[in-house]
Amino acid sequence: MVNQLAIDIAGISFSYPGNDGVTFQNLDLKVAKGARFGLFGPNGAGKTTLISLMTGLLAANTGHIKLLGQEVGRQKGPVNQLFGFVPQDFSFYHELSPVENLEFFGAWSGLDKKTINTRTDELLTILGLNDVRDKQVQKFSGGMKRRVNLAIGVIHNPAILFLDEPTVGVDVQTGRAIIDYLIELNKNGTTLVYTSHQLNEAEGLCEQVALIDGGRIIAQDDLSQLLKSHKQENLEQLFLALTGKEYRN
């Protein structure tokens, strides 16, 4: 049986206007369906740019990106239904309640009213937001806002979920709860593509990892295989061994 790819990036090149920022040259990356995949690298390595390319926020100059066999293009299409995106910023309406945010983003994700209501109830219960479901999000703590951010990204049960530092700035309890929920999602078939600087936490979540630096994939494999082949004990040591210890801007 052929292992179907969730993400198939082949030969993409990309540079920002005026070559301002990271540049990709002929980059390839494959992520298996159902994987818990971590993309790591120092600041400015190209993680966010690569996620922006995979989610169609940016368009590659050459090459192609396919999600579950469907090409990501500049034009929106059925491919946008396949994935969810949890950005690092709190990308929702702070004036609205969690229910109102989920209603709006659910509709934009292509769900009908009934499904939105069902999913809203489910998600708010799972993520512990039921008691504050009708309160304005602007009064929430950072951890609660992170959970709202996550709920919006998964309301339409996406096959692939892109997570850009989903636990940054939260307490240990919230971080643990989010990671547990992500593992639960993955068990139900969702492919996770995760980036973070919190490598201890990442080690508990990701089975496959890729290290990116200067717009190049410098290592990619199962985490255990990579640690073994580079003779490192954990992800942080592996990261420093491959990307160096000097400051990055």
Q: Using CA of residue 17, residue 19, residue 21, residue 27, what is the dihedral sign?
A: positive
Report in angstroms how near the CB of residue 90 gets to other proteins at its nearest: 6
* Residue placing its CB nearer to other proteins in the complex, 87 or 243: 87
Going across the sheet that includes 216-222, the strands are 83-86, 160-164, 191-195, 36-40, 208-213, 216-222
Asked whether the beta carbons of 63 and 11 are under 8 A apart, the reply is: yes
User: Which residues does residue 37 pair with via DSSP β-bridges, in sequence order?
Assistant: 193, 208
* Residue placing its CB nearer to other proteins in the complex, 13 or 81: 81
Report in angstroms how near the CB of residue 119 gets to other proteins at its nearest: 14
Binding region for other proteins (CB under 8 A) = 55-58, 76-78, 80-81, 83, 85, 87, 89-96, 100, 103-105, 107-110, 112-113, 136, 152
Among residues 199, 221, 225, the alpha carbon closest in space to that of 210 is found at 221
Report in angstroms how near the CB of residue 7 gets to other proteins at its nearest: 15
And the tokens for 3? 């292992």
Report in angstroms how near the CB of residue 89 gets to other proteins at its nearest: 4
* Residue placing its CB nearer to other proteins in the complex, 90 or 159: 90
* Residue placing its CB nearer to other proteins in the complex, 91 or 234: 91
